[in-house]
Amino acid sequence: MKPQLRRALWILGLGLLAIALAAAGAWYLRGDNAEIRSGGVVAGGGSALGGSFELVDQEGRTRTQADFAGRYLLVYFGFTYCVDACPLALLAMTQALDRLPAETADRVQPLFVTVDPARDDPAQIRLYLQNFHPRFVGLTGAPEQIAAAAKAWRVVYEPPKPDAEGNYQVNHTTIIYLMGPDGSFIRHFDHLSSATDIAAALQATVK
């Protein structure tokens, strides 16, 4: 399938998903992972979020925070088998970057970090990211490396509880972090933020 067609189908599918989520609205937000979704994030800049990490990208290359120095980062933790928040978040990040002038968008690096390293190896992440912005870097690693990165961003995720077929979803924080070129936290969005809002915030922030 052509990438454009695949993306169009994804957008269509996600549109339907968004409608379903809206219908489920109140229930969804009051669900058992409402707490986990909000994580420990505090509003406003200057808090000690983020930091050093050592992970592996979708091409199998080791990546550390130093590789992204001097760039704005949009950082999101999730997993490729996620059926709710993750596709919405990655699509919003993709569409926000698509709406910006190239000189602004090019200063922002979108990052996806898996919280499910058991299934999300580099090849799986590479496949998944074909549905989203071409400049996405997807990161995985050993469970302890993922745990360290998640802790730095105050992301929490629950241990998987596989069903009889071995399938599972992972409850996790669904915050999108905007980090500055010096590595400091600027502000956050979440998986229900619109691409329009994210793009406007980036336009106002990225210098």
Q: Which of residues 75-94 bind Ni ion (CB under 5 A)?
A: 78, 82, 85-86
Q: How far is the CB of 104 from Ni ion (least distance, A)?
A: 27
Choice between 33 and 58, CB closer to Ni ion: 33
Closest residue to bound Ni ion by CB: 82
State the Cα–Cα distance between residues 139 and 58, nearest whole angstrom. 6
- Residues in binding contact with Ni ion, number by CB under 5 A: 4
Pick between residue 57 and residue 120 the one whose CB is nearest to Ni ion: 120
Q: Which residue number, 105 or 154, has a Cβ lying nearer to Ni ion? A: 154
Half-sphere exposure of 108 (CA within 13 A, CB side): 31
Give the nearest distance from C-beta 86 to Ni ion in angstroms.
3
Contact positions with Ni ion (CB under 5 A) in 111-140: none
Q: Which of 44, 136, 138, 126 is nearest to 98 (CA)?
A: 136
DSSP state of 19: H
- Whose Cβ is closer to Ni ion: residue 82's or residue 198's? 82
Task: Give CA–CA dist 73/79, Å, rounded.
Answer: 18
Where does 44-192 show beta strands of DSSP type E?
Answer: 54-57, 62-64, 72-78, 108-114, 137-140, 175-179, 185-190
Nearer to Ni ion, 90 or 178 (CB): 90
Q: CA neighbours within 13 Å on the CB side: how many for 148?
A: 14
Of 39-78, binders to Ni ion (CB under 5 A) are 78
Binding-site ranges for Ni ion (CB under 5 A): 78, 82, 85-86
